[in-house]
Amino acid sequence: MLCCYWVPSFSLFRTRELSVASQFSSFSFAPNRKISCMDAAGLDSDGREFDTAGEMWREQVGDPSKKTQWYRDGVSYWEGVTATVDGVLGGFANVNEPDISCSEDFLNTLLSERFSADARRQPLVALDCGSGIGRVTKNLLIRYFNEVDLLEPVSHFLETARETLGLGCPTNSDMHKAVNFYCVPLQDFTPDTGRYDVIWIQWCIGHLTDDDFVSFFKRAKDGLKPGGLFVLKENIARSGFVLDNEDRSVTRSDLYFKELFSRCGLHVYKSKDQKGFPEGLFAVKMYALTTEAPKRAPRTKSKIPTKTNRPRTIH
Ligand code: SAH
């Protein structure tokens, strides 16, 4: 699902996504009901439409055996993929470079704004979630963090990551090293309390159901150091959601994500759009998420007379 796992039919797919997006302008909701983005319609990769995300989730994971099957299918899909950059990028190895470079700009901003020189005297620690073969760790995280842990449920991916990043590898030094390799899916993972400055989650959260998404982030908050943050980098649907029947993952819209963040008690500290990807792929966004609400600038009395541009109250 990451970039374009639906590539064989991607032009059709995109057209379908657009056609559903355009329906939303006339989408009506029952009066007096709180409008939620989960009420928005979505599609699957075969072009089937769902009226709401709830309808899709009930069908896909509505009982415990379906849910087990959902996660089993997701991992099975990746077990059949070669452990290469091309493999984890769905045949789009060429997005590796712009992906890393855009992430690096974002990370640099976050580090300079959020981690004072003082904090940087402590070892900086990151967790790479759904790390695949360790592409993001190897090309980015290991250069900025003193320790990186990797979490990945597909064992042949994690083994490849261990071979390129583990003890004795050129990327591994006393100051910058991959430490723990966890072969666990996100929905079953609880990080050690207060270990991480950054928890990086890229192109894997679509495998989690909404409920598991929320409970993962709620648990993982305790894994952050004070002032630490999550970085979520994901494909974004134009509206509603797109279910990928092949790898059992869901691409959510920006609004859908924001509703889930609020259910997790998380705040968007900053976000940034990925640039420089080939046409035809999903849009990609990075969100930096914090547990604390953003500080609002104190309201100061304007020294400039506001008489002329203050809106008048109609009595
Ligand atoms: N983040 C990596 C890999 C992306 S490919 C990168 O950007 O290079 C998607 C990854 O999500 C695969 O490695 C896949 O095994 C992993 N994945 C699938 N289901 C998962 C789950 N339930 N929890 C965590 N990771 C999962």
Q: Tens place of pLDDT for every residue, the chain, 315 residues? A: 544 444 333 322 333 333 333 333 323 334 444 556 677 899 999 999 999 999 999 999 999 999 999 999 999 999 999 999 999 999 999 999 999 999 999 999 999 999 877 766 789 999 999 999 999 999 999 999 999 999 999 999 999 999 999 888 887 888 999 999 999 999 999 999 999 999 999 999 999 999 999 999 999 999 999 999 999 999 999 999 999 999 999 999 999 999 999 999 999 999 999 999 999 999 999 999 999 987 776 666 555 544 444 445 444
Contact yes or no for 169/195 (Cβ under 8 A) = no
The pTM score is 0.86
Name every protein residue with a CB atom under 6 angstroms from any ligand 1 atom.
2, 71, 74-75, 78, 88, 130-132, 135-136, 152-154, 157, 185-187, 202-204, 207
Q: Specify the amino acid at residue 22.
A: S
Tokens of 226: 């004070």
Which residue of 89, 140, 204 sits with most ligand 1 atoms within 8 Å of its CB, as the best mutation to test the pocket? Answer: 204
Residue 152: name the closest of 135, 139, 177 by CA.
Answer: 135
What distance in Å separates the CA atoms of residue 149 and residue 200, rounded to the nearest whole number? 10
Going from the Cα of 131 to the center of ligand 1, the distance in angstroms, rounded, reads 6
Q: Which atom of ligand 1 is nearest to the CA of 185?
A: 23
Specify the pLDDT at position 93: 97
What is the Cα Rg of the chain in Å? 21
Q: Which amino acid is at 256?
A: Y
pLDDT at 121: 74
Residue 68 CA to residue 271 CA, distance in Å, equals 33
pLDDT of residue 14: 34
Classify residue 252 by its DSSP letter.
E
Supply the pLDDT for residue 289. 98
| Residue 193 DSSP symbol | T
Which residue's structure tokens are 């409920």? 211
User: How far is 232 from 202, CA to CA, in rounded Å?
Assistant: 6
Contacts of residue 13, defined as CB under 8 A and 6 or more positions apart, other chains included, come to 6, 45, 47, 242
Sheet holding 177-182, edge to edge: 177-182, 147-151, 125-129, 196-202, 224-236, 283-290, 267-273
Tokens matching residue 38: 């989960």
